Amino acid sequence: MPGRHWLNPTEPPPFASAACACDLLVLFDVDGTLLDGGRLISDTMVQAFLGAGEAPPGSAQIQDVIGLSLPEMVSALATHLSQGRRDKILAGYRLRYFDAVEREAEPPIFPGAETALLALRRAGIGLGLTTGKSRRSLTHMLDALQWHRLFRTVQCADDNPSKPDGTMVWKAFFDADRKARQTVLVGDTRYDMQMARNAGIRAIGVSWGYNAPDELLAEGALVIAEDFDHLTEVLLDLSASDTTRTGRPVEA
């Protein structure tokens, strides 16, 4: 079962004794990058619109705004409605989404996600999360997968402006005692790539998320990872090249 086979509360995780080989910090988006949550988001949004007595947007419209924080998602999908109607949809979404998430047997992470995270940690690479999810749903995911100790920094919608604002990236690398040149973002949407650019860091796109690879490249992605094995290889190579170029872990 993902997230549970290695973590015994009486023992340290397998990367705990590994010497830090580099200063690279990798920040991961969640929905569409680590978590296959698009269908639940889309279905819940449709139900929230219907529950408010409004015609729902199509699934393609909803998918196009995944990555924004929830209020910004609703605003983008309901530009024709008053703020009061948007607030009703927002409240209905939150109630339905939290109920659905907390009834899941386990969060639907993409195959290979946990293996990649563990491999990066064993290599001494620092990990973080930068997501438009709420703290409640993010904490539920981390609890269910027992992933808390994987990440040095966790930034979510409760404490930050929505993507593509760069604030959550800045807070993440300050929190992890890193600098912009030591940080790279991994994400699946144009909002991730734009956030990385706004924060002055590098970005890697993934092919399995909600925006097309060509769109991610146009927004500044260095490369598109085809799967988690490829992503791991790209990040390990990036870490090695940073260290080789400077003779030490890269610094700003």
pLDDT at 105: 76
Query: Cβ(131)–Cβ(57) under 8 Å?
Result: no
pLDDT at 101: 85
Which CA distances in Å does 57 have to 20, 43, 47, 155, 171? 47, 11, 10, 28, 33
Give residue 245's pLDDT.
57
DSSP of 26-73: EEE--BTTTB--HHHHHHHHHHHHHHTT-PPPPHHHHHHHBTB-HHHH
Q: Which residues of the chain have pLDDT under 70?
A: 1-22, 242-252
Domain with CATH 1.10.150 in the chain: 38-103
Q: pLDDT per residue over 67-118, tens digit each?
A: 899 999 999 999 999 999 999 999 999 999 988 988 887 899 999 999 999 9
The whole-angstrom separation of Cα 176 and Cα 72 is 27
| Class in CATH terms, 38-103 | mainly alpha
The correct answer on CATH 3.40.50.1000 for the domain covering 25-35+108-246 is yes
- pLDDT of amino acid 85: 96
CATH 3.40.50.1000 range(s) for the chain read 25-35+108-246
Per the CB < 8 A criterion, the answer to whether 30 and 131 are in contact is: yes
Total residue length of the chain = 252
Angle, alpha carbons 191-93-99 (nearest 5°) = 115
- Alpha-carbon span 190 to 213, nearest angstrom: 10
Residues 6+ apart with CB under 8 A from 22: 123, 124, 125, 239, 240, 242, 243, 249
- How much is the pLDDT for 239? 86
> How do the residues of the chain divide into helix, strand and coil, expressed in percent and rounded to 5?
50, 10, 40
- Contact criterion met (CB below 8 Å) for 77 and 108: no
